Structure 1
C-alpha cells in the first residue's frame, strides 16, 4: 500500500510499504479521509518534543485525525466490526496501569499515540491498524469529512466543557486556528457569547465568515468582563496575559502549546479564585462529538480548505497551500486519490 513517510526533518514522501496485518485485538481500516494537524508539521520540521524525548523517532508515518471502514479483524475481535464506518482514539493506553484502570488511558505513561508516539503507524496511508478497543462507530449518514474532524473536535469540545459555560456567559477564545475555531463553534452552540482573539489577517477574516462577530486583537479587545478564556494559541506570553484578564471566579482553559515555557503568576490564580484547566486529548469527548456532528448542532466542514491526495502532503507540511485551496485552516487527505 501507499503511505506518507517522514524520514528526516524536511524530508517526506509517499512510499510503497507492506500492507498491514491485524494482530490479535486489532483491526485494519481502509482510510477514507484524514486530516493534517500542527503536530504533523512539527514532526516534519523536526521540532516535535517527542523526537527529543525518545517517544518518537524517524522514519515516521504520521496521521491521527482519520475515518474509514474496517476491512479485516484480528483474533479476538468481534467480526461485526468488519464493514463498519469508524474513527479511532489517538491515545492508546497500556490498559493495566492505575490511570488506565481509572479511565484515563489518554494520560497513561506508557501510551502509544497513533501516528505520534510509540512508533504506532498513522493514517496518512491507504490503511491503518489500530486496536478494536479504540474504535468509535460513525453513523452511515455522517459525511466522511466530519468523521475525520471528530478527533480535533473532541479536543475543542473538552476545552469548552472545561470552561463550564452557561448560556449568556462571555468566553474569549485565543487563537483562530482549527482548534480555536472549533472551540468557538461548540461554545456558540452552548449559548455563550463568543469572542475570538487573534492577529490581524486571514485567521480573523475567516472567523467572520463563520458568523463570529466579536473578533479582536490584543490592542482592540474592549474592557469586558470575561467569564472564561480558552487559550488555543501558541504564544508563551498569552497564558499569563489571559490570567490577568479573566474574571475573578472564572476559568482559564489551556489547550494551545507554545514552543517555549509559559509562565503564570500563581498569586493571580489564587487571589482571583480562578480555576485553571489543561486539556491534552479528545479521548473522553469523542462519542459526544460524533453525536453533536450527527445532529447538526455543530458543522465544522467550512474549516476544510481542500482535500488532496497523499502525493501533495509533503508540500502542505512544508507550508505550501494546495492550488485552489479555500481560506479555512484545515487540509484533508483522501488516500485513494492519485
Structure 2
C-alpha cells in the first residue's frame, strides 16, 4: 500500500551490483557504522510500472513506466533545500540505508519525488541501468574533458564501461585500465580496444582519469597519471582506505571530484538511452529469477550466462 507522497512500483527488472554483494557477504561498510542492519531487502537499480498511488500523488503516475533515484533526502535540511538530497545526513537509500526496502521483490515503495519517467524507447533492461549510468554520466561531467580529450577509465566493470560508453558518445578518446584478461577482452568486444594493464598502458597525456575501480591503490594512481591542471574523478570505492598524497594534487594543480550516486544524472541518462547514443544492454550477462539471486550475489557464473559484468533479475519469473 502506498503511503502519503509515495507510489508502489511493480518491479520488472532489478540489477545486482557490488553493493548488493557486499551486503550478502557482510563486508558492506554501512553494516559496521550502523547506517544499515539485517534484515535488509537489497536492490537499488530497477525499473517497473506504477501500480498504486498514495495520498497527495497525481493519479497520472498510475500505469507509468518508471525508474527512480536511490537517495531519499529528508526534504527539510539545508542540503536537501539546495538540491543535495543525496548527501542528506538523514537520508534513506533504497535497498541500502536506514531500512528502506529494495527492488529485489515484486513490488517497491518509492516517494513520487524520486521517480523518473521512462519513454517507450527505454525498455525494462535499459530502465534498470539508468541508476548506475547516472553515476557514470556524473563522472564524465565531473571530468570536464576538453573537446576530443583523452580519457583513462580505471576499472572495466559496469560503472567503468558505462562511463566509457558515455564519454565516447560525447567524442572522447577512451582508454580502459584493468587487470584480468577476460575483462579487457570483453571491453574490446563492446567497442573499446584501447584496454590495457598497468604493464601495457601507453605513456600518453591523460586529459582526465576516472577511477571506477575498487582497488585501494587506484586513487593514487589516478592522481599520478592525470595531466597537470586537469581532473581526476573518484566514483569507485575500495573495501579499505585508499591513500592519496595531497602534495601530488597540489603540485600538479589537479582537481579531484567525488561522485556519490546517480542523483542529478537520471534525466540525462534516459535521454542518452532513448536516443540510442548509448546502448549498455550488451553489459548484461543474464536476466534471472529471484531463485538465482543468491548465486549471483556469491559471484557464481552459471553455464549460459554471458561475459558481461551485470546480472539482472526479473522478479516475476
| 2:94 counterpart of 1:110 | no
In 2, the alpha carbon distance for the partners of 1:142 and 1:252 equals 31
Question: How many equivalent residue pairs?
Answer: 317
SS at match of 1:270: helix
Please point out which of 6, 28, 33 is paired with 1:53.
33
8 Å contact kept, 1:64–1:90: yes
In 1, the alpha carbon distance for the partners of 2:192 and 2:52 equals 43
In 1, the alpha carbon distance for the partners of 2:179 and 2:302 equals 23
Aligned residue number for residue 250 of structure 1: 230
Q: Spell out the pairing of 1:1-338 with structure 2 (5 A cutoff).
A: 21-337=1-317
Greater than 4 Å deviation, 4+ residue runs: none
- Runs of 5+ unmatched residues, structure 2: none
Q: CA deviation at 1:211?
A: 1.2
In 2, the alpha carbon distance for the partners of 1:139 and 1:312 equals 29
- TM-score, length-normalised on structure 2? 0.99
SS at match of 1:283: coil
SS at match of 2:67: strand
In 1, the alpha carbon distance for the partners of 2:126 and 2:157 equals 17
In 2, the alpha carbon distance for the partners of 1:121 and 1:169 equals 41
8 Å contact kept, 1:243–1:252: yes
- Runs of 5+ unmatched residues, structure 1: 1-20
Q: CA deviation at 1:253?
A: 0.4
SS at match of 2:40: coil
SS at match of 1:284: coil
8 Å contact kept, 1:312–1:322: no
8 Å contact kept, 2:153–2:160: yes
8 Å contact kept, 1:66–1:88: yes
SS at match of 1:230: strand
Report the aligned-residue RMSD.
Answer: 0.8
In 2, the alpha carbon distance for the partners of 1:71 and 1:323 equals 35
